[in-house]
Amino acid sequence: MSTPADQLPPAAEPSHSSGLSDSTAAGRAADDAPLESGGVLTRALLFSVFIIAACGLVYELIAAAASTYLLGDSVTQFSLVIGVYLASMGIGSYLSQYVTDKVVTRFVDIELLIAVVGGFSAAIMFFTFAYAGPGFRVVLYLLVVLVGIFVGLEIPLVMRILKERLGFKDLVAQVLSFDYIGALGVSIAFPLFLAPRLGLIRTAFLFGIMNAAIALWAVWLFRDRLKNAFTMAVKCVLVLVALTAGFIWSDELTRMSEDQLYSDQIIHAESSRAQRIVITRWRDDLRLHLNGNLQFSSMDEYRYHEALVHPVLATLSGARKVLVLGGGDGLAVREILKYPQVESVTLVDLDPAMTKLFSTAAQLRKLNADSLNSPKVKVENADAFVWLEQSREFFDFVVIDFPDPSNHSLGKLYTTAFYSLLKRRMAEGAMAVIQSTSPLYARKSFWCIVATLEESGFNPTPYHALVPSFGEWGFVAITKKDGPREYSPPAAYTVPTRFMDAALHPALFTFPKDMERVPTVVNRLNNQALVQYFEGEWRRGGS
């Protein structure tokens, strides 16, 4: 082609116009002009459609995954992000009709915009969540809308660049099929490789780089027909450099944002088969988070663990064999080992990563007084329900310290089926204690556990204590209904304590009006009533 394209008149519109472009718009500049024939350019452009589609989907997946990761509630987050994104793409497609001139230049600009906004999107999201808190949702949807609009613009533009080269049928068929294939490739790669291996922040940068590379490539392909090809190329390179830097230092970015997220310094983080374990420290305060939920703060965990163990164990002068279910942090075991009559403690915790961490890390061993390495302690990593079913041992005292019943799997550990197994493993005159969520924030849940224990053949004695980092917390001490003894609180505590004291008992065993018993049904495997109570109460409490 000898005439510079920027000066050519517009090409005749095909009669079966797709409506994606405005054929009557006057004054269109020349980079809309018909392109040289030949397959290379067509193939290059179709390949770019493939990449563009992949990039477009990846930003959507990143936004949805990041919001799920940070806000939870995956169904809501995914459907909102996808809905807003698709709507924004619609807006973008609509707006494409107003791009009437310099289609190639606009296409390069839009590619670069996507590269910047999309490439930095994950980093921006994590940082706003960490620093701006409530502003996060605004930023999230702003990013989703922007990327959506840009992605919605780009396909119509590519189609317009290609339309002189392909018949309408071929055009739509080929562009859409490359679009779909690109999207498919990414939708497979994202959960299998990108999210787990690269992480969200780095994946975003990687695809930003691809968008910028497409822009640079487009400048190269159309270099003859672009007036300002050099300036555009420089822009592309600058964007590429910024994104590559982001890609290289994404680990640091991740750490910085996660540090801010937990506000304290992260001293340990790992994902076991069972859960995500994060330990943070701020001055003297060590905190354990499992799947983002606080398990203890070293500032006040002694209140929780003393209240869990002492009111019962102090009354069991003959307790030689003790069983702890859950509690892989070894903090309850630390309290138990204060009693000289205890000869053995069996700790059953699902997660070997937890018990290993708390029996090896120096700071944590200091916190649990190295209880997990005591010769009296036997650690078993097993599912408590299954373990209890298979065990043939009898115990004098059992501590049940499971996570709150926030899902059906955990809810099983609070059913009559579970408690009747427990009863079979309790020796004559044995007692047990169960952590039972908050009688203040989850009142029905707490009393449902009490009712379930009654139904399972126990005499329950509920009590509660204030643990500042948790709030008002509930426990239930139980004896067997047909057993020889009734529970009554100890007259005094003989082992050293920082919180428990007989003078506390009136407050401990009295439930004020706002925590008084409410009628509930019994939690069974076939109704999982507790999970429903807990979910309702937790939702009302607004996390």
Partner 1 sequence: MDRRTFLAVSAALAAAGCGRRSTSPTTPPGTLTTTGHELGHRLRDGGLPASGETLRRKVVIVGAGMSGLSSAWRLQRAGFSDFELLEMESSAGGNARWGQNAVSAFPLGAHYIPLPTPEARAAKHLLADIGVLVGDPDAKAPKYEERALVQAPHERLYRNGQWVDTLNPTEGISKEDRDDWQRFESRVKQFQAARGKDGRRAFAIPLAHSSRDPEFTNLDRITMAAWLQAEGFASEAVHWLVNYATRDDYGCDYRNVSAWAGLHYFACRDAAFSSEPDHDNVLTWPAGNGHVVQQLLARGRFAIRPRALVHRVLPRAKDVALQVYLADEARSITIVADEVIWAAPFAFAARALAGGTSDVQDLAAALRARDYAPWITANLTLSELPYAHHGAPIAWDNVIYDSASLGYVVATHQGVATLPGPTVLTWYFPLAAITPAEGRRKLLNLKREAWAEAALMDIEKPHPEIRSITREVDVFANGHAMVVPRPGLIWGPEQARVQAWNSQRGTRLHFAHADASGLSLFEEANDRGVAAAEAVLTRLGAKVDTLRHRRG
Contact residues: partner 1, CB under 8 A: 53, 56-57, 60-61, 74-75, 78, 82, 85-86, 89, 151, 179-181, 183-184, 187, 273-274, 350, 383-386, 389, 408-410, 412-413, 415-418, 420, 524-528, 531
Q: Is the Cβ of residue 64 or residue 236 nearer to partner 1 in the bound state?
A: 64
Determine the Cα–Cα distance for residues 463 and 472; give it in Å rounded to an integer: 10
Nearest to 344 by CA among 336, 352, 356: 336
Sort strands 395-401 and 426-435 into parallel, antiparallel or unpaired.
parallel
Which residue carries 């169960």 as its tokens? 434
Determine the Cα–Cα distance for residues 145 and 81; give it in Å rounded to an integer: 9
Determine the Cα–Cα distance for residues 474 and 293; give it in Å rounded to an integer: 18
Q: Is the Cβ of residue 311 or residue 405 nearer to partner 1 in the bound state?
A: 405
User: How many other C-beta atoms lie within 10 A of the C-beta of residue 491?
Assistant: 10
User: How many other C-beta atoms lie within 10 A of the C-beta of residue 195?
Assistant: 18
Determine the Cα–Cα distance for residues 498 and 36; give it in Å rounded to an integer: 85
In angstroms, give the least distance from the CB of 523 to partner 1: 10
Q: How far is CA 232 from CA 112, 208, 226, 235, 370, in A?
A: 10, 17, 9, 5, 64
Q: Is the Cβ of residue 59 or residue 304 nearer to partner 1 in the bound state?
A: 59
Q: Is the Cβ of residue 223 or residue 408 nearer to partner 1 in the bound state?
A: 408
In angstroms, give the least distance from the CB of 381 to partner 1: 11
Q: Which residues pair with 429 in a beta bridge?
A: none
Q: Is the Cβ of residue 24 or residue 390 nearer to partner 1 in the bound state?
A: 390
Q: Is the Cβ of residue 53 or residue 312 nearer to partner 1 in the bound state?
A: 53
H or E element: which one contains 380?
A: strand 377-380
Tokens at 218, concatenated = 């487009």
In angstroms, give the least distance from the CB of 488 to partner 1: 31
For the chain, the C-alpha Rg in angstroms (whole number) is 32
In angstroms, give the least distance from the CB of 456 to partner 1: 10
Q: Is the Cβ of residue 363 or residue 407 nearer to partner 1 in the bound state?
A: 407
Residue of 401, 404, 501, 514 marked active site: 401
In angstroms, give the least distance from the CB of 295 to partner 1: 16
H or E element: which one contains 390?
A: helix 384-390
In angstroms, give the least distance from the CB of 192 to partner 1: 9
Q: Which residues pair with 279 in a beta bridge?
A: 268, 288
Given a contact cutoff of 8 angstroms between Cβ atoms, the answer to whether 320 and 342 are in contact is yes
Determine the Cα–Cα distance for residues 96 and 78; give it in Å rounded to an integer: 27
- Amino acid found at 145: V
Q: Which residues pair with 397 in a beta bridge?
A: 322, 431
In angstroms, give the least distance from the CB of 361 to partner 1: 24
401 is a catalytic site residue: yes
| Ordered DSSP codes for 165-192 | TS-HHHHHHHHHHHHHHHHHHHHHHIII
List the catalytic residues: 401
